[in-house]
Structure 1
Amino acid sequence: MNRTDRLYALVEELRACAPRRVSARELAARYEVSVRTVERDIGALQQAGVPIFADVGRAGGYTLDPSRTLPPLNFTPAEAVAVAIMLGRAGGTPFSRAARTALHKIVTAMPEADGATARELAGRIRFLTDPASSEPASVPAVLEEAMSARRVVRIAYVDVAGAETVRDVEPLAFTGASRGWYLIGWCRLRGTFRVFRIDRVRRAALLDEAAPERRLEEFDEAPRDFVMRPLEFV
């Protein structure tokens, strides 16, 4: 059993046993791996957002919160791959990390046969990417957290002329266009609203300060050739 299949199997095993706790030793014996391997696999699943809880001690073990898991989904393999394609294009966006964990949850919740077929089909999809792209992977994640937590973020930003400045920014919104993704925020360095291209943010650090409440309607600097529309859940 390869690691991907084992991760899927671990989640299904914990879901089937919930709310009973299953020890690492039990799981290791079942999948014929070491206890350390099980612990690493569980850690990887937890980092991906799977709600696995651990209790230490003789009666301890791992359990899955059934109220926060997805039941088996009725995605066809082709539908799952279609979702994966769209999420795969989230690289470099503020939600690229969340896209990866969302895809993992979808595939994990699919019936085993459909999940295997979807992974095989996904193996025949290829993206063309720019090898010169040097955007730090941590930057979008920090900006996502700043937006979600409504906290001030300190960024090192390179403008079109190549000059770098350090600014404290109150995040207001993200906007996407054909050229990439942008952060709209109140720039304390300039004392006004500014639009920052995310791929020009070289470093980003979350500050402890909560961002003051500001209304997106106050921002009126959208390009005249574009209409800004909200993301809709349908």
Structure 2
Amino acid sequence: MDINFKNKVVIVTGASSGIGAEVAKLFARYEAKLVLVGRNEERLKNVAQDCTIDGLLPLCIILDLTHPGSCETVINQTIEVHGKIDVVINGAGKLKMASIFDQSIDTFDELIAINLRVPYYMCQLAVPYLRKTKGNIVNIAASLSHRHTSGFLTYNITKNALQMFSEQAAVEVNGEGIRINTINPGFTRTNLLRNINIEPQYLEATYKRISEHFPTRVAIEASEVAKLICIIASDLFPDINGSNIGIDGASSLL
């Protein structure tokens, strides 16, 4: 069976880089009508160029999803332009180091807002439209969030909570013909490391050093994660619902 998203409207948040960018490009190859959401205008437009179908650029929405009214803007503009929603990929997220010893709650609030509140609210807003199309949602969490690693307290809380939300919400919408699943990538080559102040010239060395602690000894490529997301978002497996699907080279089992 072939994967086919022709004439399906797909929203991808966090589309300006990393997994979001790669999955957007793959959806474009499958002829989806894309809505790309991101904060960085230059990077988002570059991704959009790679997603052009028959000379038509995807709808690009440049905003910060944590700002009041932003999630509503994404849903409303999508409906205004395309009239429906078939798939939502919640790829927007952030990694920052945080610990119980921190003297401020700011990082906790920041990560809760983008890693949990945004995908929750995007799902909530999209459900009435997905009910009509029998569409689905794919949330992107992290397989390593179940490993207790010092410094990742808040990040792991948000990603574990996202998985739990997806499971609970999947049960609620199951009778509506909507599916909600979570993809849990392992250590993946994205822009997340820059958020913990790794200088660009040290990125490759950092990837190599961290990868040595995992079975494959290499970082997962975002393009591989994108393939799995497209498979789960497709109609190939209509009974995959409420699942947390890992792609991490068995790293989470160590």
TM over 0.5: no
* Greater fraction helix: 2
TM-score band, normalised by shorter chain = under 0.3
TM-score normalized by the length of structure 1? 0.25
* Greater fraction strand: 1
Identify which of structures 1 and 2 has the higher relative contact order when contacts are C-alpha pairs closer than 8 Å and 6+ apart. Answer: 2
TM-score normalized by the length of structure 2? 0.24
Pair member with larger Rg: 1
